[in-house]
Amino acid sequence: MASGRRALVTGGTRGLGFALARELSRSRCPVFVTGRSPEAARAAAAALAAETGGTVHWGAGDSGSWEDCSRLAREARDAMGGIDIWVANAGINQGRGMVWELEASDMERLVRTDLLGPMLSAKAAFEAMREGGGWLWLVEGHGSDGRVMAGLSAYGTTKRAVAYLWRALALEASASDSAVKVGALSPGIMITDFLRGSLDEADPERRRRVLAAFNALGDRPETVAAFLVPRMLAARRSGTRIAWLTGSKAAWRFASAPFTRRKLIED
């Protein structure tokens, strides 16, 4: 699909962010990837350009810092001549544990990255796309649909808030006649380093159950991105939510698990 729309992807150095940037580049979108480390961002941009033959730029900074976020927006506009798509993907996971077992500094970092980061991305995106319009996409995760799991209270809280945030932003954009549209990406369970950290279970039986669930419901980031990106580029209505792992798909995966024996993660 020919596109040409200029896309910024935060957290684009690995996992879903890297896969989304690759699919956008394959769709002929100039892409700007960001990461915390200049080395990682530079390497990701070089790998994407080599693989897709597209135009890929990079910038380094903390998406949970307004100074960095606004600077990255300026750098992306300078590099690409503007921004038409902003994917607020950057995120981190919490260490498995009850909230009272987590370090306060880790909780602060999690909230800064996974909640304040999307809010600051929204502010920067609306400012950058105010005149020409464009799309802001926020990424949901565990907790966005209201489901609760012990041991993921901090992470789930931020994602529940993101579910409110993108809907509120879509409403605010519509009420203010903004040219910026807002949507959400619901990627489901992806087999990444981010997720593998959740397998650090001392209880062998619980580990077995978690592993079985991941293998039944999980998918690789490239599979999910190949589904999401064409629908992102085709979206027309603000408030659009694009979901990969729907309830019916999850039910079918569980029902067919004994027969398919999917093995995305080995114990």
Q: Catalytic residue positions?
A: 155
Closest to 88 measured CA to CA, from 207, 169, 192:
169
E strand or H helix at 73, and its extent? Answer: helix 66-80
In 3D space, the residue among 159, 23, 167 whose CA is nearest the CA of residue 91 turns out to be 159
What tokens does 222 get?
């490239």
How many Cα atoms are found within 13 Å in the side-chain-facing hemisphere of 161? 16
- Residues pairing with 147 in the sheet: none
Q: Which residues pair with 241 in a beta bridge?
A: 184
Gap between the terminal Cα atoms of the chain = 39
Pairing mode, if any, of strands 7-9 and 134-139? unpaired
Q: Amino acid identity of 185?
A: L
Closest by alpha carbon to 19, among 53, 41, 44? 44
